[in-house]
Chain A
């Protein structure tokens, strides 16, 4: 319920053992290093071996990132996303990785990969240039003159090629024949007169007429195309040459691809392992870098949970002659990281708590109190035992079969428990894939079995079920206020406990009781108790809620106004009616599916039952998907908005221990076989 108690540990270490101690702490993975003096904003990283190591590992890591990206691109037989998420990480130990790092000529590989990448880029650039040239030349394929005339020209003859508007062509032809006449040649091509706006034009003329032709060209908005100088054959010849060149380039690219592929299969795993090793080492030197040091001594400070202290002590035992340590309680004003710890059945809900916000250190961790409500509400919202069984089987299978870790695993466990709760709630409301048992004659024999568990039938008697939902909601709200009351007591702020929380609890319980008495659900003898509770609560609130105000009148006004807050509690309670609505909507969709399936199976001859079965399966999958989303979101919302708002303070910072943070491999210990994540 409360967060794990944290202690601040200050270590003074002789320089000679600092590396080893930091390595041990990293292996333990239960300390959060505190940076000295905030950060090294001066940019001066104290020089020395530590920053050199840091620089080295940072470079290696950036190379590794490049190499991994490259190798991943050219990997043969890529693994799917799911397969990747579900497969187990290979296990390695630090010594192994270190020797791997030493014996690998990584720089050589990186050089090779960069070379390959450059060649790929070169090939692709040339290919695209060739393709562009090819489209230009394709337009002049019928031109029988050598392109030499159009690039450099000969001593006597010069030419230009280009495009121009189709409607100007006749003008050009006229002017060309009158001004150049026999001293030149004109080639015009319009691919599709209906659509093309540009004609492809080639002009050939004797050099002396160059100026005249230029003027002519300017008049008809001729757009000149520059060709590469090395072209010397006819366009048709050049196109053939380009084709040859392209084939050659393609061949080269294929051989490079093969090389990249083989490099990928040869190196991928190793580079992944190395990248993890270097990031671990980088983390270690970052920790060292955040220590403060004199010539002989390094000072290291970190947060650690109280129960990890003996382990740390044991780890530091061998260095006791060269180290000194002090364990302190957190001081006022220090931001202590929060570490959540809950029993196994509730701890999978921790990500749901931290998604809302990390609990403030010293405050309440709501996970344990939220978990049962969340499981229950999810079950009520989904509310179908058939869905519950299906979900439980799928999730259980996935959890057993695949070695999933981390938050994904927690999420799947939450969903698994939720699906069990769905089975229970579905059985209590008699919903097994809605009313499937009633709908289809051949399932009627299951009816007595189903009916044995039914407690309510929300479809036929929604009001009873609604009151159950609201009662549960009211209970959760009072529970939330109770936690706030307890928390205030624990912090010894009695005024807050008894006046703010106590006042509301008394008033609300009194009002609820009064309501029950007045609709005849509670014995009338409790009426007096109800009235006095409500009255007492209201009086407490009236007298205390204005206590920060000055002046009797404004005190009284604030006190009276605070009673208006009862509407927000009413609203919160009514909000729980969504449990019924969502439960009903799931059941009703199921009802519709069954009805349609029955209509089809009876109405369509011969194949009716096949169509009905298909409709039944697809319809239920759709219904399951949409209802699971709704159930999850709305039961979570009830926790966040209605429950958490009563007591939960989420201004904390999550405890992030200094350890082995890896992406691809799992680092294990060799010595005594202890595993470190």
Chain B
């Protein structure tokens, strides 16, 4: 019995840290991707709407509805950084303690949360901008800038996630 417990504890101390980091990576990529998908679908509705009037706006609409897609990429990036850091993608074996694993998990939270919500919010902003170019396609410059205001906070979250992860020394 004791032996079982010892083995359990040993594997735990050896692997749980990395696995907590993996959990964080999963949440980051999953939530950020979901947010982007929702955001793009919101913008998509507006794009389909204006294209019933003028299918020629496809290019401009595509440019705008691609904007909420970056959050998903940021999430993937951060997740990738995390699993790279705990040595799951090859390279030298890394020893990750449980506490380090929890730290990495925490460092992924800004990106998971901010990307999810900001992508949805940016999707709404993009939808508005798409309506703007349906009437005034020449204002595409302004229409691209407006939704980009929302993205700022996803960028800041990515920055913090990377800095936090970088500050956890393995």
Contacts and interface: CB of A to CB of B under 8 A. Distances in A.
A582 B73 contact: no
B37 interface: no
B80 A577 contact: no
B152 A462 contact: no
Interface stretch (B5-13, B46-54, B139-147): B139-147
Contacts of B70: 626, 630
Nearest to A636: B145
B23 interface: no
A549 to B, nearest CB: 33
A633 B158 contact: no
Given A630-B70, A637-B148, A589 B159 contact: no
Nearest to B89: A595
Contacts of B162: 462, 581, 584
Contacts, number: 68
B77 interface: yes
Contacts of A641: 149
The 5 A-B residue pairs with the shortest CB-CB distance in the complex, in nearest-first order = A581-B159, A355-B141, A633-B148, A578-B155, A581-B155
A392 B162 CA distance: 30
A614 interface: no
Interface string A576-609: 0110111011001101100100010000000000
B81 A634 contact: no
B89 A577 contact: no
Contacts of A466: 159, 163
Given A462-B162, A589-B77, A595-B89, A578 B152 contact: yes
A438 to B, nearest CB: 12
Nearest to B63: A629
Contacts of A578: 152, 155-156, 159
B155 A582 contact: yes
Contacts of B151: 634
Tier of interface size on chain A: 20 to 34
A633 B145 CA distance: 6
Contacts of B81: 588
A640 interface: yes
A408 interface: no
Contacts of A580: 159
B133 to A, nearest CB: 13
Contacts of B69: 626
Contacts of A636: 145
A262 interface: no
B74 interface: yes
Interface string B89-115: 110000000000000000000000000
Contact of B159 (A352, A355, A577, A595): A577
A598 B67 CA distance: 30
A575 interface: yes
B73 A585 contact: yes
B66 interface: yes
A592 B80 contact: yes
Nearest to A640: B145
Interface string A437-474: 00000000000000000000000001100100000000
B92 to A, nearest CB: 15
Interface residues of B, number: 29
Given A578-B159, A633-B145, A585 B66 contact: no
A641 B149 CA distance: 9
Describe A's contact surface by its main secondary structure.
Answer: helix
Contact of B152 (A575, A588, A599): A575
27 contacts: A351-B141, A352-B141, A355-B142, A462-B163, A463-B163, A463-B166, A466-B159, A466-B163, A577-B159, A578-B152, A581-B155, A581-B156, A581-B159, A585-B77, A588-B77, A588-B80, A589-B73, A599-B90, A626-B73, A629-B63, A629-B67, A630-B70, A634-B148, A634-B151, A637-B145, A637-B149, A640-B145
Nearest to B154: A581
Contacts of A591: 80
Contacts of A592: 76-77, 80
Given A584-B159, A585-B158, A592-B76, 14 more contacts: A462-B166, A466-B159, A466-B163, A575-B152, A577-B159, A578-B152, A581-B158, A588-B81, A591-B80, A592-B80, A595-B84, A626-B70, A634-B148, A634-B151
A630 B158 CA distance: 14
A559 to B, nearest CB: 31
Interface in A324-383: 351-352, 355
B155 A634 contact: yes
Nearest to A351: B141
Interface string B23-55: 000000000000000000000000000000000
B165 to A, nearest CB: 10
A124 B70 CA distance: 49
A585 B74 contact: yes
Contact of B144 (A584, A599, A633): A633
Interface string A267-278: 000000000000
- Identify which of A462, A589, A633 gathers the most chain B CB atoms within 10 Å of its CB: A633
Contacts of A637: 145, 148-149, 152
Contacts of B152: 575, 578, 637
A591 B66 CA distance: 22
Contacts of B67: 629, 633
A352 B142 CA distance: 10
Nearest to B76: A592
B130 to A, nearest CB: 15
Which has the most chain B C-beta neighbours within 10 Å: A351, A466, A592, A599?
A592
Contacts of B142: 355
Contacts of B66: 626, 629
A674 B73 CA distance: 53
A382 to B, nearest CB: 14
Contacts of B80: 588, 591-592
A591 B73 CA distance: 13
B21 to A, nearest CB: 17
Interface in A627-660: 629-630, 633-634, 636-637, 640-641
Contacts of B141: 351-352, 355
B166 to A, nearest CB: 6
A471 B133 CA distance: 36
A165 B35 CA distance: 52
Contacts of B76: 592
Nearest to A352: B141
Nearest to B91: A595
A466 B142 CA distance: 28
A415 B141 CA distance: 14
Contacts of B156: 574, 577-578, 581
B140 to A, nearest CB: 9
Contacts of A352: 141
Contacts of A577: 155-156, 159
Interface in B61-87: 63, 66-67, 69-70, 73-74, 76-77, 80-81, 84
